Amino acid sequence: MDFNRRQFLLSSVATFAVASLSTPLLAADPIVIGVPTAKSGPVGVADQADWLNGVTMAVEEINAAGGVNGRPLETRVVDIDLLTPEGTVAAFQSLVEGGVQALAHSFAIIPQPAMDVAASNGVPYLNGNTSQASLDLIKSNPKYHNIFQIDVAETYYGAGFVKFLSNQKAAGWKPKNNRIHIVQEQIGYTQVISKATQAAIAATNGEWVQGPITDIQFPVQDWTPVIQAIKEADCGVIMIDHWVAAELASFAQAYVLDPTQGSLVYLQYGPSQPEFLDLAGEASEGFIWGSVIGVYADEKGNAFRKAYQEKYPGTMGMVYTGSGYDTIHILAEVWKTTDPKDFDAVGKAIKAIKYRGVCGTYTFATDTNSPISYPTMTDDADSAQAHLIFQVQDGAHKIISPASLKEADMRPAPWM
């Protein structure tokens, strides 16, 4: 183990050890972070809870170590209605008017109203929207200069997934045929992913071929017709382009009863939410899923996983837990050298930072104020966030790609 790696690991362990001590009394004025968090609703609640858990862990650790320049961090949490622009605006407006020094939000399903409220006074706003539309706004309008997306756009789900398939072939996997069947939900997020996947398939010049596209509508009451369409198409790869964990668990339970033999089945993102494993149970075995940001299984990532599960027992989310945690540490790092009330100075410091967190390396020195993705956008793993591909193996999520970060090789699923 070289010196830099040993030093990095020791500093990570020390951070978690300090956090276990009682938080010291910090007399200085707190630095307040606004954290909109959906407490109820049909979608997004698990992710928002994961984010808040990660945020809370980071705040407690930082305060246990003396805060930022002697000032404690404090979170101000408000409920948010993710499904209406009015609900989004109300949550963000209450925080901005309350004088928070930053906004940290897992994601807004309707991004622009949230961005407009943050831009109204320039408060730094870090989010995991995973939205090309958000990045287009940042790129085109300077009023959004203090808004930062902590991960890349959803388009990279498509490009990254097809790259993963090609890499698995190169590593020895033999698909039963080269056709890809896409089952797509109708919201903008999943439609963007579907179109990006179709474009990536076309760009392979015949290595992969577009199969049928089957539409579904949330909530999916009955997966039987979808599974029948999948069987009739008999494609080598099946992509379920839907992100709601409970519904993907329902699909998994139905699919394993009547599977398409030999097909690789990819469930887009949703299994990252704890309820997928909890609800799908043994039916989850063998399914593959991915996230453009997620908790690594290296020394730093595993130290975080261990500390998180000690604090929050049960099934752990693999995405927003770590990204929420990292976001607070990014803010704390830039506040060490800036006045938290000087929003533009803080924004410039975020723009310039290179921060290695539990979910990879965050950089924002792009025209979209967002990081870069490995291996789709760069071959340099140390400068980017890895697009992680997981497979459920023995009831747990295991990273199978990229090769430099994998915990296990891809296994044949029970139906393969």
Instruction: Indicate whether 366 belongs to any domain.
Output: yes
- The residues of the chain scoring below 70 in pLDDT are 1-27
Specify whether 400 is located in the same domain as 349.
Answer: no
Pairing of strands 209-215, 373-374: unpaired
Give the whole-number percent of the chain exceeding pLDDT 90.
Answer: 92
Number of C-beta neighbours around residue 47 at 10 A: 27
The answer as to whether 411 is a domain residue is: no
Residue 96 lies in a domain: yes
Domains of the chain: total: 2
Residues 323 and 345 in one domain: yes
219-231 pLDDT, tens digit per residue, is 999 999 999 999 9
Shared domain for 31 and 95, answered yes or no, is yes
* Residues 357 and 240 reside in one and the same domain: no
Q: Does any domain span residue 416?
A: no
State the Cα–Cα distance between residues 385 and 2, nearest whole angstrom.
23
Confirm if 169 and 223 have CB atoms less than 8 A apart: no
Q: pTM for this structure?
A: 0.92
Check residue 26 and give its pLDDT: 61
pLDDT of residue 41: 85
Give domain status of residue 327, yes or no: yes
Q: Is residue 356 part of a domain?
A: yes
In this structure, the answer to whether residues 254 and 139 fall within a common structural domain is: no
Contact status, residue 274 vs residue 317, Cβ threshold 8 Å: yes
Inside any domain, residue 412: no
Is the distance from CB of 263 to CB of 416 less than 8 angstroms?
A: yes
Residues 118 and 218 in one domain: no
318 located within any domain: yes
Q: What is the CATH number of the domain that holds 200?
A: 3.40.50.2300
280 and 365 co-located in one domain: no
Give yes or no: residues 259 and 401 share one domain: yes
Q: Please check whether residues 168 and 132 belong to one and the same domain.
A: no
- Nearest C-alpha neighbor of 108 from the set 84, 135, 124: 84
Domain match, 89 and 130 both: yes
**16 and 137 assigned to the same domain:** yes
Q: Are residues 180 and 235 both part of a single domain? A: yes
Residue 165: its pLDDT value, please? 98
The whole domain housing 148 covers 3-153+296-371
